[in-house]
Amino acid sequence: MGSPAAGAAGTRTMRMRPDLETSYRGMTALVVGAARSGIASAEFLLSSGARVILTDSRDDESLRSSLAALRKTAAGPGELILELGGHQSESFTRCDFVVVSPGVPASLPHLEESRRLGIPIIPEVELAYRHLKGTIIGITGSNGKTTTTVLVAEILQASGKKARVAGNIGLPLIGFVASSQPGDIFATELSSFQLECLRDFRPHMAAILNLSPDHMDRHRSFEDYMETKRRIFLNQGYGDVAVLNRDDARTSAMAGALRSIPLFFSRRTEVDLGAFVKGGRVVYRGGRDETDLFDTQAIQMKGAHNLENVLAACTMALTLGAPAERAAAAVLSFKGLEHRLEWVAEIDGVQYFNDSKATNVDAALKSLEAFPGNVLMIAGGRDKGGDFSPLRLPVAQRVKHLVLIGEAAGKIGDALGEDTAITRARTLPEAVALCRRLARPGDVVLLAPACASFDMFRDFEERGRVFKNAVHEIGGQSPQIRSRE
């Protein structure tokens, strides 16, 4: 990695270099948010000798298990101060810098006091970047981030490279600092929340997979959301690489404003640099060289969006030196991730798919487009401020019956009108049981919520597990069930 860009304007600066281990002795760091990345940041700073103030709106009882290991770390060179059950304004003005967790919005009023005084505010990934040895691949987008991130790492690992999965999935990036080496590659999933407060963060390779309205309950507008995503390229320069989706007009248009080298992936057209589909096969073009990789039909993951994820992953991995044959083998053995258009079972000729990770409208659309028709779709949950009207025509064309759950059920029903049969269910298992009664051989039951899960579940993963358990329960009542689990 090269040296970071100059810090943002302010009365205080953080003069650190990513290739230099920095001591924080004598410094006070305010860590806002005691979730996974906040805890990891606090642990790193404590081990580096900092005085760490960890603040969270939740109380000690709610955070007991999360804080247990952190309290042990506090026995080292640093000093830990916990401010739980609410934020104290004074802490935001009496620190050397602030590390903000992804769950904490940049618009938090307390942070305005820090900005007013010129106190640097950075996300955990920025703190990690300033000390991490190795190469960072930053991957963002509205949908497909996790699948693409994991697949990039698996291709690189199959090619003999030391690649790790980090960021919004797996271990926070800061957790790799102590053991990192110059030859390491960190495939890092980045949400818009992690990009809001970037200052110097400069990934050698950065990708935006696609852009569609998401998290409108946190961002002021779709334009604000897109601008936040674009920040992944903020500090890139000569020698860095940007990977963009040629088929997505919003991401493709960003190429003209980049200082880094643009590469593209496309399932619809050929590109000069990157991966694309040609004659039903995935092809990688690097300059004058063109390499045939594999047939698109051999990919185990279902859906056009997963083909795009594969193209993006191949573009990144082959550009970083993965041999074509190793890349092809890794892709063709990759079965996808849990809760992402995951095949669950076949019961009496009906296929059941779990796409609990389809937490916005665009993701639900892509999930639905993987099937030509005869779908019984379960949707609903907590509204993220999205517009459900784009679902109306695809649902009318492909869905036999729509079962709605959760807080957004009424809003979704109003947006879709009377073009499709709609029934509401009180719980997800009840929705599965209803689909079981309505489905006929050849049909598909699809969980594609188009909403967040927090009204009924801890997260999308719990929602997906509840769905799968309900499917297996009804399958236990049938003599004809086929399951891979």
Query: Under CATH, domain 28-119 is a member of which superfamily?
Result: NAD(P)-binding Rossmann-like Domain (3.40.50.720)
The rounded mean pLDDT for the chain is 88
241 pLDDT higher than 90: yes
| Architecture of the domain spanning 342-483 | Alpha-Beta Complex (3.90)
Q: What is the mean pLDDT of residues 38-54?
A: 93
pLDDT grade for 450, boundaries at 50, 70 and 90: very high
Q: Can you name the residues that pair with 79 across neighbouring β-strands?
A: 51
Sequence spans of domains, the chain = 28-119, 127-332, 342-483
Mean pLDDT for 126-139 is 95
**pLDDT given for residue 77 in this prediction:** 81
User: By the 8 A CB rule, do 151 and 309 touch?
Assistant: yes
Fold equal for 28-119 and 127-332: no
What pLDDT, on a 0 to 100 scale, did the predictor assign at position 154? 95
pLDDT mean over 157-179: 91
The single residue listed with the structure tokens 């892509």 is 366
Within 20-79, where are the H helices? Answer: 36-47, 64-73
Q: What is the pLDDT of residues 206-232, one digit of tens each?
A: 999 998 865 555 556 878 888 889 999
Residues 127-332: name the CATH superfamily: Mur-like, catalytic domain (3.40.1190.10)
Separation between Cα atoms, residue 342 and residue 445, nearest integer Å:
12
Q: Could you read off the pLDDT of 264-293 as tens digits, one per residue? A: 999 999 999 999 999 999 999 997 889 999
Q: If we measure between CA atoms, which residue out of 74, 92, 96, 72 comes closest to residue 83?
A: 92
Q: How confident is the model at residue 60 (pLDDT cuts 50, 70, 90)?
A: confident
Q: Is the pLDDT of residue 302 over 50?
A: yes
| Res 10: pLDDT | 32
Q: How much is the pLDDT for 341?
A: 86
Cα end-to-end span (Å), the chain: 42
3 state DSSP class of 395: helix
Cβ neighbourhood burial of 35 (10 Å; 0-12, 13-18, 19+): middle
